[in-house]
Structure 1
Amino acid sequence: LPTYRIEPPDILVIEAVNMVPKPPYKLRAMDVLHISALGTIAEYPIDGEYAIEPGGRVNLGIPYGQVKVAGLTVDEAREAILKHLAKTLTSPDVQVKLLQAAGLQPIAGEHLVTPDGHVNLGTYGLVSVVGLTIPEAKAAIEKHLEKYLQDPEVSVDVWAYNSKVYYVVTEGAGLGDTITRLPVTGNETVLDAIANVNGITEVSSKRIWIARPSPYCDEVQILPVDYKAITAQGQTVTNYQILPGDRVFIAEDKRVAFDTDLGKLLAPFERIMGFSILTVGTLSRFSGKVLYNPNQRGGFGGFGGF
């Protein structure tokens, strides 16, 4: 198969791997910081994750207390914590890193490719991904997020291959054709296509072929399928791989089609003859009762003496 290109209405799974706001970012409540300090009391180390509380303070625990960091940048928060610890410690050293920004909208889960070829990333806006491969879509999304984040990184995969399909056309021998639309996942063969429609029907023949679209409008590409070979004999020569846009055509049984056509041709005459026979029978039944006279003794018209 050719390299898969994204089209509507595919569904993509987009997960943010690295989401760091562009500097200078002002810390806010519910942000999570990683704080590590040297020169602390051995029994009370400072090394771990600390969430900024609703009041804008980070709690370093006993005996260090709380430090207000909301509204500060990461570097300013480091200086504030260092200044606070210097009141009780000798020559402390502090490192502060932003682990999670509560104000950033997360990017995770399934994203439907809209009819105009975009994915909606919420507050980050729309990104066009139509016609792109998965690596190209990843690069396009990361480039778009650079407007809001520092060195963003995302993972992209296709969750539902909805845009690439093939068709199984079952000719109905004069009773109406059946067309089944099925998604292409990459490894379907003719046998898989027939199995997906529960085999051939009682009005079908074993004449099967693939009608494959051609880039030239005046050309037709037909790939004949040997049904007995791919089923009873296990041969793979004509068990072609299905490509997007293929039509697997299952031809009708000509004898069943002839019987159907003959039935359609004779049905009006049968109805006319049936109606005629019914009419004659009804008239005969009623006329017999009218002409019959139980009091008639002889002669014409029921008058005796002739």
Structure 2
Amino acid sequence: MNNTNSTPRYANIPIAWGLALALLSTSVGCTSFAHHSHPSDPLLDVPRELEMTTHPEYRVAAPDILLIEAVNNIRPPGSTLQAGDQILVQIARGLPLEPDVEQETSPLEYQAAVEFEQAFKTINAIYLVGANGAVDLGPYYGAYEVAGRTVDEAQQLVQQALKDRFGLREPQVTLILPDVAGKQAINGEHLVRPDGTVSLGVYGSVYVAGMTLEEIKSLIEAHLSRYIHQPELYVDVLSYNSKTFYVVMDGGGYGERVVRLPCTGNETVLDAIAQVQGLSEVSSRDIWVVRPAPAGTQCAQVLDVHWSEIVAEGITTTNYQILPGDRIYVEADRMISVDNALAKLISPVERVLGVVLLGTRTVQQIDNPNSNNGFGF
């Protein structure tokens, strides 16, 4: 059956393309690509490469990591014994040797009995304070409750008990604490927590946010003096996590990539770009540094960066020193931004036209199943 429709095949396609192009021209005409304007002359009083300045005295904040080393970790003289402690006990003029075998009757048995009693009545060894708080000196002397007492108090307790239990007149007892180390070593890395404190293990926590290293050292030493004899510490910053700056890479219409980097004091613009693996494929050489301004301020300090001078000519005028909180903005290439903007506008139209063409062809195929509706021209 012949097609009686006098309208040329795909006659509506040029009209659709004309409408699409008119729409695009109108849209592109209304689209503006904003560019940040800022002074092009460098500020001469700003720190830069070869003319760096030192930062103010560092004040710790979360989430810095501190390195704390204790020069000594000795218990204070008044500390008490506790379960698990090991103490050296020595007793002189203690229980006499009283073997129950006559030497004349059986010399060998007598000698064995003497050696047996010597092994248990001679007290000159290290003993463990048990879980029950007592130190057990063997079958002859028995156990003595020493936990919660100082070494001197425990020594007097054992000495008096020997007099009361066994009737010894002048026993001499010596108790020595061989291991005088504190309960827990505090050497190592200590994270400043979100609440501004650092943990010292069993010795509790200390608030350090906003303090200098010298202030932290004095504060922790005063805190540990209750647990350690004359504590002396070395405190330093192991990881500067609280002082940072940012590198913002414009994606040319497809977002912005923000990289957060620690500020240790000597970074310049060139160092910052090097830490993000250089400029990306879409980056231009239009770069500037923005210094943070207080709330309510309508004007920010913007430092223009002459990238070509820095990398190709070694001119350090705009290779500014980076300070905490700085933002280094790298703008995308304008042609790439325009191309991406056009792609965003054209892509939906292309999809709509594709659907229209597909629908038109499907309808014609249904109306004229025997006609040749291929796309050959």
TM-score (normalizing by structure 1): 0.71
Residue 220 in structure 1 maps to residue 300 in structure 2: yes
CA distance in 1, matches of 2:68, 2:243: 20
Give secondary structure in 2 for the equivalent of 1:289. Answer: coil
Given candidates 90, 103, 108, the residue that maps to 2:187 is: 108
Amino acid at match of 1:13: L
Residue 21 in structure 1 maps to residue 75 in structure 2: yes
- Does the Cα contact within 8 Å between 1:13 and 1:157 map onto a contact in 2? yes
CA distance in 2, matches of 1:231, 1:178: 23
CA distance in 1, matches of 2:338, 2:356: 27
Given candidates 109, 128, 139, the residue that maps to 1:54 is: 128
- Correspondence list, 1:1-306, <5 A: 1-26=55-80, 52-54=126-128, 73=151, 100-102=179-181, 104-215=183-294, 217-218=296-297, 219-290=299-370
CA distance in 1, matches of 2:246, 2:332: 16
CA distance in 2, matches of 1:186, 1:127: 27
Which of 1 and 2 has greater Rg?
Answer: 2
Shift in Å, 1:245: 0.6
- Tell me the number of residue pairs that the alignment of Structure 1 and Structure 2 aligns: 252
Amino acid at match of 1:261: A
User: Are residues 281 and 99 of structure 1, via their aligned partners in 2, closer, same or farther at CA, if it must alter by over 3 Å?
Assistant: same
Shift in Å, 1:251: 0.8
- Does the Cα contact within 8 Å between 2:245 and 2:325 map onto a contact in 1? yes
Amino acid at match of 2:272: A
Corresponding residue number in structure 2 for 1:301 = none
Corresponding residue number in structure 1 for 2:24 = none
Identical amino acids, percent of aligned pairs: 46
CA distance in 2, matches of 1:229, 1:196: 19
Of the structure 1 ranges 142-151 and 17-26, higher mean CA displacement relative to structure 2 is found in 17-26
User: Are residues 127 and 280 of structure 1, via their aligned partners in 2, closer, same or farther at CA, if it must alter by over 3 Å?
Assistant: same
CA distance in 2, matches of 1:227, 1:197: 15
CA distance in 2, matches of 1:235, 1:15: 44
User: Are residues 104 and 51 of structure 1, via their aligned partners in 2, closer, same or farther at CA, if it must alter by over 3 Å?
Assistant: farther
Shift in Å, 1:267: 2.2
Shift in Å, 1:211: 0.6
Shift in Å, 1:76: 9.4
User: Are residues 120 and 223 of structure 1, via their aligned partners in 2, closer, same or farther at CA, if it must alter by over 3 Å?
Assistant: same
Shift in Å, 1:25: 3.6
Amino acid at match of 1:277: L
User: Whose RCO is larger (CA < 8 A, sep 6+)?
Assistant: 2
CA distance in 2, matches of 1:102, 1:18: 8
Shift in Å, 1:269: 2.0
CA distance in 2, matches of 1:178, 1:103: 49
User: Are residues 291 and 261 of structure 1, via their aligned partners in 2, closer, same or farther at CA, if it must alter by over 3 Å?
Assistant: closer
Which structure 1 segments of 5+ residues have no match? 34-49, 58-67, 81-95, 293-306
Give secondary structure in 2 for the equivalent of 1:157. Answer: strand
User: Are residues 142 and 285 of structure 1, via their aligned partners in 2, closer, same or farther at CA, if it must alter by over 3 Å?
Assistant: same
Corresponding residue number in structure 2 for 1:297 = none
CA distance in 2, matches of 1:243, 1:51: 62
CA distance in 2, matches of 1:72, 1:180: 57
Give secondary structure in 2 for the equivalent of 1:271. Answer: helix
- Does the Cα contact within 8 Å between 2:86 and 2:128 map onto a contact in 1? no
Shift in Å, 1:115: 0.7
Give 1 or 2: higher strand fraction. 1
Could you list the per-position Cα deviations for residues 54-96 of structure 1 after superposition, in whole angstroms to 9, with x for gaps in the alignment?
A: 3779xxxxxxxxxx9x86647997xx9xxxxxxxxxxxxxxx9
